[in-house]
Each structure stands twice: as structure tokens, then as C-alpha cells.
Structure 1
Amino acid sequence: MEGLFGVVEYLNSLLWGPPMLALLLGTGIWFTFRLRFVQVRKIKLVFKKTFGDVFKKSEKADEHGMSSFQALATAIAAQVGTGNLAGVGTAIAAGGPGAVFWMWLSGFFGAGTIFAEAILGQTYNQRVDGQKVGGPAYYIKHGLGSPALAAFFAVSIIIALGFIGNMVQSNSVSDSMNAAFGIPHIVLGIITAIVVGAIVMGGISRIASFAVTIVPIMAGVYILGCLVIIFRNLGEVIPAFQLIIQSAFNPMAATGGVVGVTVKEAMRYGIARGLFSNEAGMGSTPHSHAIAKVAHPSQQGFVAIMGVIIDTLVVCTFTALIIIITGTYETGLVGIQLTQQSFAIGLVGFGEYFIAISLFFFALSTIIAWYYFGEGNIKYLFGQKAIRAYQVIVLVCIVLGTLIEVEDVWELADLFNGLMVIPNLIALLGLSAIVIKSLENYESSDLDK
């Protein structure tokens, strides 16, 4: 087994090398410039489309799709998960504080990428067995005209998110709950699997209702906890930002050699964890944005941008600040242990429990969203008849994930994330003219005038 994970680690060093980082950032940069910095110049519309109807009574999700906000909540359920807590800790431990800068950069340009994903998801959505569905497999097949590449993506995302990704989630939450409350890992795995099973077997209506209820609460409570620590350490905030910027370009000088990482490592882990967190370019969130009930595809594109803002520029930044201002990034801890120790210092007597409980809900929401994304691709490949078998395998993976070493699980996640990114980015670049035309069409319309 050790030899197998050694191979995985080697493949990741190749897969997540300069070409992949350049392709990811390059795609975001391409869309950002071609769309004329849509994430900046349309920021008011992003907020309006996201929160304008949030207090109105939301219609129930059904075979015709879900509301725009329900689609965003489902997407954020996937985005805001262990990547924001354990992932940020892993990035800083392996890439130094400078990794945070590269997370920001990938998030800023990733907003352009995720805008494009949402538009293509909307443009090429389909009806299968009477249900509205969509996602990269559909725009790769019907837009790019490559059924083989679409099938490769579908297989990759099922393994990456439905199976391996959910092992990452259960691994992190079991570690955290075990450290805080002493609950055995396997017990946490079984409990999580039971809760997830009860929700996903209720179909899209129950999944959407869960997401739209739990996501705003869990994100709000977590941000509030972070703000308490930050206000207690206001004098350390500006130095923390300075350290992040310095470490991004000169890690050794910024840390005095304590971390001892290179710029390449800071970029590698910052962008890789940024992708795992905000999922821009990965091809996951288009599954929910594709079935949103909107008048024009670009409208859901604006909403999708908010997902990256909340995930990377807000939640990930808060997590990183807590790790840096408490000084725990120099302790040698990794992943959720690093984040948990940071909050234990910042919220004395309560921080460890706060993170454990937060992570449970973050991971639970992500598992359910990733299950849903994988289910869409099971339907694409095998039809409705294979859903029950898929559900069973997902629940088994949740339990198994609690029994594997954290470094090994993250390496597997990076590998399969990379495999699903490649066909999605090929499609995004190949269909970029469709995205640009959609935005131009929207801007020439009177939908928001």
C-alpha cells in the first residue's frame, strides 16, 4: 500500500506541475480578460442576483430544476468544506503562508472560470427521464462534440468526488471529532453515512432544502467565530497579510527558513488547495448551476461568482488569518490538526470543539453536494438503474475514509481532481466563444434595465 501511494505522489508531482498550474490560471486569466473583468465590473449585479430574492419564499426543487439561490447553496455546500479548514491548513503547512496568496489569485481568476462553467451548464442542460440535468459531460458531448471525453470526465468526477473526495471529507471530520470529543473514527464514519443516506435518498428536493437551510447558518457561525479571534488580535492582522505577500515570492526570507519552502511549492499547494476549495475549473459546481431556473444563462453566471467570493476570498482567508496570527503554522502540524490547534489558541477552552462541530457540518454539506454531482454523471453513463448501487458505494467510502492516513487521502484527491480538470478545461476553452456571446447577448438585453 505504501508503494501505491508513492506512485500516486509521483503522479501528482507531474500532474500538478507547472503545465497544470499554468492551464488553470491561464484559463481564468483568459476568461477574465475576454469577459472584460466581469467579476469586478458586474460586482453589484453579482450581489443583486445572489441576494435579491433570498428572503422571498423559495419554490420547491423538482424535476424542472431548482431556484437560482438553491443552486448556489448546493454549489457552496460543495465549495465550503474541508478545503476551507483542513485544506488551508495543509496548504500553509506544505507551501508556507505564501500559499494563501496563490489561493487568492486562483480565486480571483477562478471567478471568471466559474462564470463560464455556469453559462455552459445552463446552455447545454438536458432532460433525462423527465428530469432536468446538466454539467460538463453534457457540454463536452453536445457542445464540444466529444462523447469519449465526456465519458472520461464522468468517470473521473464519480471517482474524484463521489468516492475519493467524500473519503477526504469523512477523514477530516473524524480526525477533528476524535481529537475534540474522543469519538472513535469508525463511529463517526457510520454516523455520517447514516445521516447522508437519509438525505440523499430523498432526492433533489431534500438535497436542495438541506443546502439552502444549512449553508447560510454554518458559514455565518464560522465567520463569526473567526471574527472573535481576529478582533482579539487586531495588531497581528496587518503583519499576517504582509507575511502572506512576502512568502508568496520569497518564502525563506519571510519565514527565516523555518518553513523552508520554495515559491514553486507555495504556488503548487496554494493553487491546488484553492481549486479543491472553490472548485473553479474543476467541473463540479456546473451540475447545480445548470438546472437553476433563470431567464438567461448569464444570470446564473453572476450567482456562480458569489460562490468563489464566499469560499476563497472570505472563508479561506479567515481560516488562514487564524492560523498565521496564532503562530501555529510553525508547529509542524498538518491539515485539520493545524487548524484545530489555531482555534484552540484563539478561542481558549472552546476552539477545539468549535472547529470539530463546524467541520462536521461543512463536511456533511460537501458530501451531500458531491454525492449529487456524482449522481448526475452516474445517470449520464448508466441511467437511473445504477443510482442505488452508487449510493451504497458512496456510503461505504464515507466509512472507509475515516480509517486512512490524511496525507494519503489528500494525495488521492489531488490526483483524481486533476484528471477531471483536464477535460473540463479543454471544453471551457473550446467553447469560450459561446460564453462570450452569452454575456454580450445579456448585456444588450433589457433583463435588468
Structure 2
Amino acid sequence: MESFHDFLKLLDSHLGGAFWFPYVLLGVGIFFTIYLKFPQIRYFKHAWKVVTGKFDRKGAPGDTSHFQSLATALSGTVGTGNIGGVAFAIFLGGPAALFWMWATAFLGMTTKFVEVTLSHKYRVKTEDGTMAGGPMYYMERRLNMKWLAVAFAIATVISSFGTGSLPQVNNIADSMETSFGIEPMITGGVLAVLLGLVILGGIKRIAAVTSRVVPFMAALYLIGAMGVIFANLENIGPSFVAIVGDIFTGSAATGGFLGATIAYAFNRGVNRGLFSNEAGQGSAPIAHAAAKADEPVSEGIVSILEPFIDTIVICTITGLVILSSGVWHEKFENVFERSSLTFVKGVYSEQNEQDREQMYRYLNDLDGHSIENFNGEIQVIKGRPLPGDYTVIHARSFAEDVKVSLGDLEEDYTGTINIENGLPVRDAVIVHGKSLIHSAALTTQAFTRGFFGEYGKYIVSIGILLFAFSTAIAWSYYGDRAMTYLLGPRSVMPYRVIYCAGFFWASFSDTALVWTLANVAIVVMTLPNLFGIMMLRKEMKQTVNQYWEDFEKQHPGEK
């Protein structure tokens, strides 16, 4: 599994983690924002009118209402990206990462408008009478690029696990264990069964469930978040200053946080922004293709609301909770994941400015450091590793109060541990202590710093349960539409069984491994879609212009 994670990290370094990917993603968003004259601003008010059903036509083809399609698509985007993903971005890039999430969302509102409109325009009715749409249909039916459509559909199936299933349940299980002490395997097993019961009903049952769950979970999460924000109101101003002030300087070292470069904050902020709102990924168009509408542009306009609600509203609230509470640069007792753990050669101190600078350069992949991984034996007595020529780094911070157990966290180990290339040779070695934390665990800690005190973590746990579970539901639909395209309706049931099995497995697997898989899966789906919508840019403009001409005739003065 460690070798597999190394392979995924290598892929991520050439894809989502590569310097060029954010520029491609934002570049397409900038192009369409200018080309279509800022539709995310001009059509914003109209989008609310459409989603409320004001312009609905009786008998329009489709399976779901505008609101149900929006709710389903939102349930696919409003998930762990809003709770764990924001925390992960701040953990990696500091406050400035949140700004780049905003930029991604603003431009993503236009990108989503384009991809949803085109996908809805070229949707088809399947053998069972339901609608099927998504980028693979416009790629084949309009661009005549069957090979690209097949590649995208395969990427969608992979991404349904990497985006919709695995990271979601991983965060649920982690949160439920932290808050309620429930074993991850039990959480995964119960939810896998519930997931199966929902997704077997197809899009109509999925839409019915998500249209009820999404408003409730958003209200619950908002109440808990406001409890933290108002309790730390004096820190809200400085939090915004840090977000904006660090954009072009990078985030300085604060507490246990060792700092981040501009490039690191930019890259991870854009990457997490995409994971959160999925604009450009081509996933949401699959849900919107089921909407009852004669005009593809009307559904595209509805989709403008997604990145706004998902990232600009919900992710900002999460970010302010984390920043105002101060937990993002504090160390907490936790079990050290191997993927975030390194024993480095030499003795370094957090109190030494030169040592902090060396570690900053090492963690941000900069030249000018002499840090190497440690190799050798370490003596451990009653769980305490004896001092030597090494320093323990976990979660991009100096680890403190380090302890070692073997197999059982409750039993202190006495003996030696062999370290090769910075990691214990035996997988059974458990290293734990104090360090920075990230993902859902960080957000959970932040929610305890408000009016609700320790009860705040239960709000996060329930929020993650609802957010992430609804995301897994929506992504199962994306995957089964892709399987329908690739192999026909008969392939859907085997896919759903494997999807539920993967959902169970991820509940007790390594968090960092799951997030890395998500990073890779997102990119292999996004790039073909961005290429496709750029190819159809002129048709998109013509379609939008025609929509408004027809709309003005039917609803004069309503624009």
C-alpha cells in the first residue's frame, strides 16, 4: 500500500500537483468569463428565478426539477471538500489558500455554466426511459471524438471512487471515531448498506433524498459555524487580513505551522477549490442532464449557483471557523499516519530560527536545505524513543511528546525500531504524539472553540455524515451514467456493488492516501472536459444568445 501511495504521489506531482494545472483550470475560467461577458454576475439573479420554478414548462422532458437537479449536484459537491478539504488547504498553504479557493469558485461559476449547458444540450434518453447526459455525450455527438468520450467516461468511473466515495467515508469514519468512539469499520459497514439501499432506486430516489438532506445539512452546519465565528468575532478581521495579505507573500510561520510559499498556497488552494466545487471537472453536468427543461441554457444558468453556494459561502464559513479559532497552527495529540510521518537525520529544534528555515525549505520543496531522511535503529523504552541523531516530523510540523506502540495503542513498546528512508520498517509500529492536524480532524477541533464548546464536534460529525454521505450518493449516479455509456445498463448493478464495497474499505484506510487518489482522479477527468468545452466555445456563445432572444419574446422585461 505504501508503494501504491508513492506511485499516486508521483502521478499527482505531474498532474494536480504540477505547476501548470492551476493555470489551465483558471485560464479556461478566465477565457469564458470574458468571452461570455461575466455571466456569473449578469445571470446570477435570473438563476434564482429559474431554480424556484418560475419559468418551468409543464411536460418538459426530464426526470427531475431544476431544484432537485441543483440539490443533487450540490450534494455531489458539498461534501468533505467543504469540511476536510478547506482544512487541508489551510494546513498546506496557510490562510492565502482560501483566497485561491474563492478565485477558483468565481471563475468556476462560468466554467460550470458552460459545461452544464453543453451537456444538457446533447443528452439522450436511455433504454429504460431515463435521461443520460454529461461531457461524454457532447464529445461523441458533437465533436465526433468517441475516443475522448470513452476516456472521459472511464475517468468518471475512477473519479466516482476517488472523489465521491473513498474520501467521503474516510472523513465520516474519522470524525465518528473522534466524536463518538465508533470503530471506522462499523461506520463503514452500516453506511455502505444504507448507500446501497438509496442508490438502487436510481436518479428519482437519489433526487428525492438529496433535495431533503441538502437544505437540512446546510442549516445545521451554519448554526454550528456561527457559534464559533461569533465567539471569536475579534479574530475575524485579522483572519481576512491574513487571507488577503498572504496572497503575494506566502504564509509566514505561526505557532506549529512552519509557513508556505506563494506557489504552494496557490497550487493547493486551486486544487482544493476544484475538489470542493468540481467546476470544470464535468461531474455536475451529469446530474443537471436529468433536469426537466426545454432550454439547455436555463439549466446552465441554474448551475452558476453551485460554486457560489459550495465554495464562496460554505467553504468561506469553514475557513473563518478554522482561522478565527486559531487551531490551524496548534498541535494536538494524534496517531501519526505513515504518509505524513518522516524521521529526518539530525537534531532540529522548533525554537531555533535557522532550523525552522531549513524545515520550511524542506517542506515546501525549495532548494537550500541539507535535510535528509534518517536510516538506522532507535531504542525505545516504555514507549519513549531515546534521543539520537534524528528529528520526528509529522503533518508538516515538529512532533512533540513522541511515543511508540506496537500493534496496540494502549501498550507502550520497549525494544528497537528500524528506520529506513525516514519510516519504520514494520507496519505494526504505531507512532503517536502531538503535531499539527488536518482535514476533518482540524475542522472538528475548530468547532469546539465556540459557544457550543465540546458539543461543537458533534455538529461537525453529523455535518460530515450528511455532507459526505450525500456526496457519495450523487457520485454513484455519475458513475452509473458513465458505466451506462461505456457498457450499457446491465453494467450498472455490478458497478454499484463495487462502489459500496469501496465505500466500506475506505472507512478504515489511510487518509492521506485517499486524498492523493482524489487529487489524481480529479485531474484525469477535468482535462478532457476543459479541452471539449474550449472546442465548442463558439457554439456556446450562439446557444446563449439564442436563449435570450427567445426568452425576451416569451417573457418581456423578466430578464
Q: TM-score, normalized by length of structure 1?
A: 0.95
Q: CA deviation at 1:142?
A: 1.2
Q: CA deviation at 1:91?
A: 0.6
Q: Deviations over 1:143-195 (max 9, x none)?
A: 22111111111111101114663011110000000100000000000111111
**Structure 1 residue identity aligned to 2:126:** V
Query: Which residue of structure 2 aligns with residue 76 of structure 1?
Result: 74
Aligned residue runs from structure 1 range 96-111, under 5 A: 96-111=94-109
Q: Find the aligned partners of 1:64 and 1:44 in 2 and give their Cα distance.
A: 24
Query: Which residue of structure 2 aligns with residue 6 of structure 1?
Result: 6
**Structure 2 residue identity aligned to 1:410:** W
Q: Max radius of gyration: which structure?
A: 2
Aligned residue runs from structure 1 range 322-337, under 5 A: 322-331=321-330, 332-337=436-441
Aligned residue runs from structure 1 range 46-445, under 5 A: 46-52=47-53, 64-129=62-127, 130-162=129-161, 165-253=164-252, 255=254, 258-331=257-330, 332-346=436-450, 347-445=452-550
Q: Find the aligned partners of 1:253 and 1:399 in 2 and give their Cα distance.
A: 39
Q: Find the aligned partners of 2:271 and 2:58 in 1 and give their Cα distance.
A: 36
Q: Find the aligned partners of 2:204 and 2:130 in 1 and give their Cα distance.
A: 12
**Structure 2 residue identity aligned to 1:5:** H
Which structure 2 segments of 5+ residues have no match? 331-435
Q: Find the aligned partners of 1:407 and 1:208 in 2 and give their Cα distance.
A: 31
Q: CA deviation at 1:196?
A: 0.8
Q: Deviations over 1:405-442 (max 9, x none)?
A: 11110001101111011111110111111211111112
Query: Which residue of structure 1 aligns with residue 343 of structure 2?
Result: none
Residues 433/191 of structure 1: CA separation in 2 closer, same or farther (3 Å cut)? same
SS in 1 for 2:454: coil
Residues 136/369 of structure 1: CA separation in 2 closer, same or farther (3 Å cut)? same
The higher-RCO structure (CA 8 Å, 6+ apart) is: 1
Q: CA deviation at 1:327?
A: 0.4
Q: CA deviation at 1:75?
A: 0.3
Q: CA deviation at 1:64?
A: 3.6
Residues 252/215 of structure 1: CA separation in 2 closer, same or farther (3 Å cut)? closer
Q: CA deviation at 1:256?
A: 8.5
**Structure 2 residue identity aligned to 1:39:** Q
Q: Find the aligned partners of 2:256 and 2:210 in 1 and give their Cα distance.
A: 43
**Structure 1 residue identity aligned to 2:81:** G
Q: Find the aligned partners of 1:199 and 1:262 in 2 and give their Cα distance.
A: 44
Q: Find the aligned partners of 1:215 and 1:297 in 2 and give their Cα distance.
A: 24
Q: Deviations over 1:9-58 (max 9, x none)?
A: 1221121222211110011111111110011122211222223559x9x9
Q: CA deviation at 1:259?
A: 3.4
Comparing 169-178 with 212-221, which one deviates more in the overlay? Answer: 212-221
Q: Find the aligned partners of 1:257 and 1:232 in 2 and give their Cα distance.
A: 23
**Structure 1 residue identity aligned to 2:535:** G
**Structure 1 residue identity aligned to 2:213:** I
Residues 49/327 of structure 1: CA separation in 2 closer, same or farther (3 Å cut)? same
**Structure 2 residue identity aligned to 1:426:** F
Query: Which residue of structure 1 aligns with residue 15 of structure 2?
Result: 15
Q: Confirm whether residue 28 of structure 1 aligns to residue 29 of structure 2.
A: yes
Q: TM-score, normalized by length of structure 2?
A: 0.77
Percentage identity across paired residues of the two chains: 37
Q: Find the aligned partners of 1:404 and 1:60 in 2 and give their Cα distance.
A: 47
Q: CA deviation at 1:227?
A: 1.9
**Structure 2 residue identity aligned to 1:26:** G
SS in 2 for 1:248: coil
Supply the RMSD in Å over aligned alpha carbons. 2.0
Q: CA deviation at 1:127?
A: 1.4
Comparing 396-405 with 286-295, which one deviates more in the overlay? Answer: 286-295
User: Does the CA contact (< 8 Å) of 1:164 and 1:397 recur in 2?
Assistant: no
Q: CA deviation at 1:247?
A: 1.9
Q: Find the aligned partners of 1:144 and 1:64 in 2 and give their Cα distance.
A: 24
**Structure 2 residue identity aligned to 1:15:** L
Q: Which has the higher strand share?
A: 2
Q: Find the aligned partners of 1:53 and 1:353 in 2 and give their Cα distance.
A: 38
**Structure 2 residue identity aligned to 1:157:** T
User: Does the CA contact (< 8 Å) of 2:252 and 2:258 recur in 1?
Assistant: no
Comparing 227-236 with 263-272, which one deviates more in the overlay? Answer: 227-236
Q: CA deviation at 1:234?
A: 2.1
User: Does the CA contact (< 8 Å) of 1:95 and 1:261 recur in 2?
Assistant: yes
Q: Find the aligned partners of 1:258 and 1:391 in 2 and give their Cα distance.
A: 41
SS in 2 for 1:345: coil
Residues 213/349 of structure 1: CA separation in 2 closer, same or farther (3 Å cut)? same
Q: CA deviation at 1:246?
A: 1.5
Q: Find the aligned partners of 1:104 and 1:46 in 2 and give their Cα distance.
A: 20
Q: Find the aligned partners of 1:59 and 1:45 in 2 and give their Cα distance.
A: 20
Q: Find the aligned partners of 2:190 and 2:54 in 1 and give their Cα distance.
A: 35
Comparing 369-378 with 249-258, which one deviates more in the overlay? Answer: 249-258
User: Does the CA contact (< 8 Å) of 2:117 and 2:297 recur in 1?
Assistant: yes
SS in 1 for 2:131: strand
Q: Deviations over 1:94-113 (max 9, x none)?
A: 11111000000000000000
Q: CA deviation at 1:297?
A: 1.3
User: Does the CA contact (< 8 Å) of 1:246 and 1:254 recur in 2?
Assistant: no
**Structure 1 residue identity aligned to 2:237:** I
Q: Deviations over 1:273-305 (max 9, x none)?
A: 110110000010000111211231111111101
**Structure 2 residue identity aligned to 1:156:** A
Q: Confirm whether residue 43 of structure 1 aligns to residue 148 of structure 2.
A: no
SS in 2 for 1:251: coil
User: Does the CA contact (< 8 Å) of 1:164 and 1:409 recur in 2?
Assistant: no
Q: Find the aligned partners of 1:53 and 1:182 in 2 and give their Cα distance.
A: 47
